[in-house]
Amino acid sequence: MADDANTSSVVKAAAQDARNYWLEEGYAPGGSLREVDFAANFKGVHPLFAGIKIVDCDTHFTEPADMFTANAPAGLKSKMPHVRRVDGVDYWFVGDKNFGALGGNVIASDDNKLLGRLAFRTFEEIHPASYLVKPRLAEMDAMGIWAHICFQNSGVTQAGSLVALEDNDLAATILSLYNDACAERMRESGDRIFCMGLLPYWDKDQLNREMRRIIDMGLRGVVMPDRPERIGGPGFIGPDGKVSPFWEEFFEMCSASGTPINFHLNTALDSNSAIWNNLGFDQRLPIFALMNHLGCAATMANFMVSGLLDRYPKLKIGLIESGAGWVPFALESMEHQLDEYCTRENRGLQRTPREYFRQFWVSYWFETHAPKHMLETIGVDRVMFETDFPHPTSLYPGIQEKLVDTLGGYDYATRKRVLERNAVELYNLPF
């Protein structure tokens, strides 16, 4: 069903996508533990940020083992995702199909951090804050974080594997149950934990029904695939160069409601194609992550040249777990290239790349140079903060120290803008 001449560039979704979501090498025995002095590192909000409700705009909420089976319609309980332990590893299964492990969970139940691996192997080993609301809130308080924007963790909702079930109603039900759990966490947390909704991207009617339901439930955003063509449906742009009819109602709903769409890293690019052969696991993973960060520049650029932002000037786009330091270079590149190739004139684009960037937000966590020296260049009102808890590259521990280092030199208004107001405005948060 892919709809354009660039179909050959699309890395097609497959049944094994969920199983491959977290590489088995990443939770094999091994690695080392970093001992964490919890009392020394987690003392709540630093005085510099008193009065700021810090929003961590990229965290992950691990799907609890009974999330689907406990709430499924009676006739579908036996078909729901469930956890089985195989050779000492907890895996998600749908029927007899292995959907992979629990996701990136490197914070241990005793507060220490696993290094050199992507995850612990079982629920018992991981911190309960990874998958339960009350422990998560306690951890947030200790970190000095008021709100978490949360994304899925395991591959159990991976679109390619859901499509491979060849049962659209079952796949859509799994995603609906996921979204119901997101709404329940938001209520249980007292509007501090905001999980991003997921959609059946491959079926127009189901997509639009679930999007309306997400808006009605009050979820604060959705996660999107950069290349929906991977899943068998049409891309955002049709053969005529205009928005695909498949996506028109979806974009209209997002624009009218102010619901942001989020591109979490960029998995549409085949990052492995840029990595040399014969590199080991610990050599490949940093390059893989780097390519996915840079892939967000491609997502941004695709929107800028597509005309979609002219048609939907109120559409809000989060580029999450993306980093921020690449933005000035990417915008300079786009400004130059669009002029040299006459793209604006040829396509009737109404704004420059820098002007289109007003519809995007980016996030930083490991960076020091960008938040210290590039906020004005990127846009003080377009940069947010994240920790990536409980993933391997998370800032845990030492979160407040990182904030003091990167934002301590700014005035209070700037600190509040980056740490609170930008996320509040993107996600329509109730504070």
> Is the predicted pLDDT of residue 267 greater than 70, yes or no?
no
Edge to edge, what strands does the sheet with 97-101 contain? 82-86, 89-94, 97-101
Residue 337 is encoded by which pair of tokens?
A: 């290239």
Which CATH homologous superfamily contains domain 7-427?
Metal-dependent hydrolases (3.20.20.140)
The answer to whether the beta carbons of residues 106 and 120 sit under 8 Å apart is yes
pLDDT digits (tens, 9 = 90+) for 64-114: 999 999 989 888 999 999 999 999 999 999 999 999 999 999 999 999 999
Domain ranges of the chain: 7-427
pLDDT digits (tens, 9 = 90+) for 350-390: 999 999 999 999 999 999 999 999 999 999 999 999 999 99
The answer to whether the beta carbons of residues 344 and 363 sit under 8 Å apart is no
Ranges 35-39, 143-147, 226-230, 408-412: which has the least confidence: 226-230
For residue 257, the SS3 value is helix
In terms of Cβ atoms closer than 10 Å to its own Cβ (0-12, 13-18, 19+), residue 255 is: middle
pLDDT digits (tens, 9 = 90+) for 204-257: 999 999 999 999 999 999 999 998 988 878 999 999 999 999 999 999 999 999
| Residue type at 4 in one-letter notation | D
Average pLDDT, the chain: 93
Other beta carbons within 10 angstroms of residue 138's beta carbon come to: 14
pLDDT digits (tens, 9 = 90+) for 154-168: 999 998 899 999 999
Which residue spans within 87-220 are E strands per DSSP? 89-94, 97-101, 113-115, 147-151, 193-195
Do the bridges between strand 55-60 and strand 193-195 make them parallel or antiparallel, or are there none, so unpaired? unpaired
The model's confidence at residue 9, banded by pLDDT at 50, 70 and 90, is low
Residue 382 is encoded by which pair of tokens?
A: 């377009």
